[in-house]
Amino acid sequence: MNKDAFWPLTGGTLLRGVLYHAMCLLVTLGVMAVIPGKWGAFAAQIPALLLVTVLPYRTFYQVGFRDCNKVRYEQIRRDTFKGLKAAALGYLPFLLASVGIVLARLGVLPEEYLPYYRLINAPFLALMQSLIPTGLTFAEVPVAQVALTAATSLILPLAAGLGYRLGLDRIPSPFGKKQQVGE
């Protein structure tokens, strides 16, 4: 089976997304344990952001780079948004969890959803603690802060989509090894 085909790429994105979230949770909690307070939250957010942007970007860049030759020799049709679509579908559970936090702010879901959402959206745990402090209820949190918190889950699909597009167009990547034209 072709691992660069759309559905295996989508399933792989879901599995990698869960792995990235677990890695981010461990890194965030580790940094916040060593450096307490707001500085620890800030310091923990940087490696978490790097994990959820660089790792999907690199994976999809390589897929796009390989697809470039397939498009050139007409083995597949050029689909500029293949990376974005595959990442969005693979990351759908996390995107739906973000919709859940907006619904919780609107009162459709109970207040008890927030701790679960913090766990689900682990790469942005430190940012969420700044935007939605644990002492506040959803009624006290401005809608803009909830919307910004929900929008953070778009980072991974956007990074993957950008990586695929740049790989497909053979634009050199700032991350990782140099690709050879024949690869």
Query: CA dihedral defined by 112, 114, 116, 117, rounded to 10 degrees?
Result: 150
Q: Is residue 12 part of a domain?
A: yes
What pLDDT, in 10s, does the model give residues 51-96?
A: 889 999 999 999 999 999 888 888 888 889 999 999 999 999 999 9
What pLDDT, in 10s, does the model give residues 148-173?
A: 989 999 999 999 999 999 999 988 87
Over residues 102-121, mean pLDDT: 87
Q: Is residue 135 part of a domain?
A: yes
Q: Is residue 173 part of a domain?
A: no
For residues 61 and 105, what is the distance between their CA atoms, to the nearest angstrom?
A: 36
Residue 76 CA, distance from chain mean position:
27
Residue 166: what pLDDT? 93
Residue 94: what pLDDT? 92
> What's the domain range around 98?
6-168
DSSP track, the chain: --TTSHHHHHHHHHHHHHHHHHHHHHHHHHHHHHS-HHHHHHHHHHHHHHHHHHHHHHHHHHHHHHHHHHHHTTSS---TTHHHHHHHHHTHHHHHHHHHHHHHHTTSS-TTHHHHHHHHTGGGHHHHHHHS-TTS-GGGS-HHHHHHHHHGGGHHHHHHHHHHHHHHTTPPPSSSSPPPTT-
Domain count, the chain: 1
**Burial of residue 180 (number of CB atoms within 10 Å: 0-12, 13-18, 19+):** exposed
Which residue type is seen at 14?
L
For residues 45 and 51, what is the distance between their CA atoms, to the nearest angstrom?
A: 10
Q: Is residue 161 part of a domain?
A: yes
Q: Is residue 137 part of a domain?
A: yes
Asked if pLDDT for residue 40 goes beyond 60, the answer is yes
Over residues 141-147, mean pLDDT: 88
Asked if pLDDT for residue 1 goes beyond 60, the answer is no
Q: Is residue 178 part of a domain?
A: no
Over residues 95-106, mean pLDDT: 91
Confidence of residue 176 (pLDDT cuts 50, 70, 90): low
Q: Is residue 183 part of a domain?
A: no
Q: Is residue 180 part of a domain?
A: no
